[in-house]
């Protein structure tokens, strides 16, 4: 009787129990969803974008330390996330990942800023270096090309020019690091040839004080006698004509193939340096070089030096001192080509030939300008 | 009624469990990764950097999305599967494009090399015709030296091609070719100048 009564009560409460269970179930599910931590997808997107932005500025190359840190942290954060995902969903925590992402964004931003700064710097450095080397080439090219018997200096100079051209290509491709490496190589080659050039010139210019003195004496003599005097400046490739101590004309001149240095012996294709006199005037019937003024090479100084050089073994035994040095026409070839004479273009030779006479002083010097001036210009 | 209630609860649990057990598309991830690695090995990063970065970025984005799905109760990876397939295709295309670009550069280098060799041969011929007088001797000697240096640069270019450094080889061959052409012009001018003198 009692059991029957209880059953009846329960049966009458079933709808209420069912609703309660369903409500509890829904409440439970809602609570579970509420307690489930939300995944750090947006934060990861932020991190990924910041790394990607940094890379676009070249941070992987120009701020590699910060960029690598950001990348490594990104990988670590991803591993942390995977590890969290292995746990039961309600026990997961993304706090550590969030901190990690903050660092990633910080480092990626630093990498970006540093990279932009470094790119600007290296760009300016490379551009300056290219310009500097280009200027150096312009400044030294003619001197190096005119250096006789110096194949290595010329070749090294040409290699330097090629490397510089390659560096410029890299610069245009924005490959600044490659450009910088090539600039180092080009600088090495250019500096090697320039230092060889300087060595030769420093040695050559040891006689500079003699040259300026010879020039002074020659002009002084022209002033005293009121007559013509000729001064040839080998370095400047110039022939100056003085009358009564005053400069009247200035002509371009071409010299012996091995123009640098004093003439030592016959066949060395050097143009002698010293104070000479015109010994003969040869008109076009007597010379194949239009007109010529022969000078008294070898003079006493030349002969003394030649004997000393022979004695000291500076020149081969059996060498001859040479002669027949002239100022003559048929110049204007644009290169040094004579066997040691001074060549002028025919119209200039006409003027010189007309103004000179037997006994006219002809002074040939290495350079009137000092070495520093030569290198500066 | 009681049976209905039990069935309902069981269904909800089954759906939850089924959804949670949806498998990660590991095969697709591996395939996309492999395709991207192959593109990288072919030099995509160097020859097509923008395209490479874009593909890499796409893959990273899918990986993030996958992990995000794994963090949720109901995970379905069908979208990511299709995105991974897109990335794989992109990477495969990238590899092909890289090979095409490399071949383009290689052909450009070969063409410039051929032109350079021909001009070098022509220059050697021109050297025999150039004015041999004493005024030109030193200049001709210097040109011969420079041509020797340029001939040596052909070997350097070949070595760079052999080591697949095409951009570097292209740079070198372009610069050397310009120099060879400059010498060619210089020699032709010298010959023309001397022949004009001869006619006077």
Quick: pLDDT tens for A287-317.
999 999 999 999 898 889 888 888 888 888 8
Structure tokens at B31: 């395939």
E-state strands within chain A: 228-233, 238-243, 246-252, 274-282, 292-295, 326-328, 342-343, 361-365
Q: How far apart are CA A38 and CA B68, in angstroms?
A: 9
> Which residues in chain B have their CB less than 8 angstroms from residue A56's CB?
53
> What kind of architecture, by CATH, is found in domain A206-376?
Beta Barrel (2.40)
Q: Inter-axis angle of helices A64-86 and A95-146, to 10 degrees?
A: 160
User: Residue-wise over A50-75: b if at least 16 C-beta within 10 A, else e?
Assistant: bbbebbebbbbbbbbebbebbbebbe
Chain B hits for A44, CB-CB cut-off 8 Å, are 64, 67-68
Judge whether B73 and B79 are in contact, CB under 8 Å. no
| DSSP code at position A338 | B
Strand partners, A278: A295
Tokens 């003394």, located at residue: A304
CA dihedral B158, B159, B163, B169 (to 10 degrees): -60
Tokens for A184, please give them. 């180092």
Q: What pLDDT is recorded for position B198?
A: 46
Q: CA-CA distance, B180 to B189, in Å (whole number)?
A: 14
pLDDT mean by block of 10 residues, chain A; 377 residues: 76 83 87 80 94 94 96 95 89 91 97 97 96 93 78 87 95 93 96 90 92 95 94 94 94 88 78 93 90 92 87 82 90 85 94 93 94 82
Q: Is the peptide bond before A353 cis (omega within 30 degrees of 0)?
A: no
Subunit contact B153:A78, Cβ cutoff 8 A: no
* CB spacing of B175 vs A159 below 8 angstroms: no
Nearest to A39 among B1, B57, B72 (CB): B72
Question: Which chain B residue lies closest to A172 (C-alpha atoms)?
Answer: B171
Q: How far is B53 from chain A (nearest CA, A)?
A: 8
Note the pTM of the prediction, 2 decimals. 0.76
Residue to test with chain B: of A166, A181, A259, A346, most B Cβ within 10 A: A166
- ipTM for this prediction: 0.79
Taking only the tens place, the pLDDT of each residue in B116-138 is 999 999 999 998 888 776 556 77
Return d(Cα A179, Cα A61) in angstroms, integer: 14
Domain ranges of chain A: 206-376
Cα–Cα distance for residue pair A218/A298, rounded to 1 Å: 18
The token pair that represents A216 in the structure block: 């002074």
Q: Are B5 and A21 in contact (CB under 8 A)?
A: yes
Residue of B nearest to A256 (CA): B135
Alpha carbon distance A170, B118 (integer Å): 26
Q: CA-CA distance, A9 to A11, in Å (whole number)?
A: 5
Instruction: Verify whether the Cβ–Cβ distance B67 to A48 is below 8 Å.
Output: no
Residue B57 CB coordination number (10 Å): 16
Q: Are A33 and B42 in contact (CB under 8 A)?
A: no
Rounded to a whole number of angstroms, the CA Rg of chain B reads: 33
Burial of A154 (0-12, 13-18, 19+ CB in 10 A): buried
| CA nearest to A335 within chain B | B135
Amino acid A1: pLDDT: 65
CB A77 within 8 A of CB A101: yes
Q: Do B175 and A166 touch (CB under 8 A)?
A: yes
Which positions of chain B have pLDDT values less than 70? 1-22, 133-136, 194-200
Triad A66, A71, A76: Cα angle to 5°:
125
What is residue B145's three-state secondary structure?
helix
């Amino acid at each position: 009787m009692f059991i029957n009564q209880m059953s009846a009560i329960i049966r009458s409460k079933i709808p209420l129990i069912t609703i309660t269970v369903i409500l509890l179930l829904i409440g439970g599910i809602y609570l579970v969803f509420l307690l489930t931590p939300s995944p750090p997808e947006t934060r990861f997107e932020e991190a990924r974008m910041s790394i990607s932005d940094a890379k676009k500025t070249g941070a992987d190359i120009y701020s590699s330390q910060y960029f690598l840190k950001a990348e490594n942290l990104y990988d670590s954060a991803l591993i942390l996330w995977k590890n969290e995902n292995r746990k039961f969903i309600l026990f997961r925590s993304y706090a550590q990942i969030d901190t990690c992402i903050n660092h990633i964004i910080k480092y990626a931003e630093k990498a970006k800023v540093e990279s932009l700064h470094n790119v600007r710097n290296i760009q300016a450095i490379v551009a300056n270096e290219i310009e500097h080397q280009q200027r150096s080439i312009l400044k030294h090219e003619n001197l190096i090309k005119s250096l006789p018997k110096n194949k290595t200096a010329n070749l090294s100079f040409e290699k330097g020019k090629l490397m510089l051209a390659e560096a410029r290509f890299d610069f245009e491709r924005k490959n600044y690091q490659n450009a910088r490496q090539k600039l180092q190589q080009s600088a090495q080659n250019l500096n090697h040839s320039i230092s060889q050039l300087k060595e030769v010139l420093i040695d050559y210019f040891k006689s500079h004080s003699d040259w300026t003195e010879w020039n002074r004496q020659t002009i002084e003599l022209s002033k005293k006698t009121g007559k013509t005097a000729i001064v040839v400046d080998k370095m400047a490739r110039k022939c100056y004509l003085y009358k009564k101590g005053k400069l009247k004309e200035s002509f371009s001149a071409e010299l012996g193939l091995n123009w640098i240095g004093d003439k030592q012996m016959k066949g060395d294709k050097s143009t002698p340096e010293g104070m000479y006199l015109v010994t003969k005037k040869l008109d076009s019937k007597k010379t194949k070089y239009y007109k010529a003024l022969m000078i008294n090479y070898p003079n006493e100084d030349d002969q003394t030096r030649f004997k000393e050089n022979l004695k000291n073994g500076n020149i081969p035994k059996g060498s001859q001192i040479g002669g027949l040095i002239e100022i003559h026409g048929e110049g204007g070839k644009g290169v040094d080509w004579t066997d040691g004479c001074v060549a002028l273009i025919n119209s200039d030779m006409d003027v010189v030939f007309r103004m000179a006479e037997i006994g006219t002083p002809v002074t040939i010097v290495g350079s009137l300008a000092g070495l520093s001036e030569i290198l500066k210009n | 009624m009681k049976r209905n209630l039990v069935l309902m609860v069981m269904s909800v649990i089954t759906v939850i469990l089924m959804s949670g057990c949806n498998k990660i598309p590991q095969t697709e991830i591996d395939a996309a990764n492999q395709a991207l690695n192959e593109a990288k090995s072919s030099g995509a990063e160097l020859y097509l950097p923008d395209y490479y970065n874009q593909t890499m970025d796409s893959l990273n984005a899918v990986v993030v999305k996958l992990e995000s799905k794994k963090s949720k109760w109901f995970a379905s990876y069908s979208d990511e599967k299709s995105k991974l397939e897109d990335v794989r295709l992109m990477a495969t295309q990238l590899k092909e494009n890289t090979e095409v670009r490399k071949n383009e550069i290689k052909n450009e280098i070969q063409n410039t090399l051929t032109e350079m060799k021909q001009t070098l041969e022509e220059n050697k011929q021109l050297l025999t015709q150039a004015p041999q007088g004493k005024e030109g001797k030193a200049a001709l000697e210097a040109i011969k030296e420079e041509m020797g240096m340029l001939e040596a640069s052909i070997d350097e270019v070949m070595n760079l091609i052999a080591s697949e450094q095409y951009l570097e080889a292209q740079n070198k061959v372009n610069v050397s070719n310009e120099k060879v052409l400059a010498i060619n012009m210089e020699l032709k001018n010298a010959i023309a100048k001397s022949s004009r003198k001869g006619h006077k």
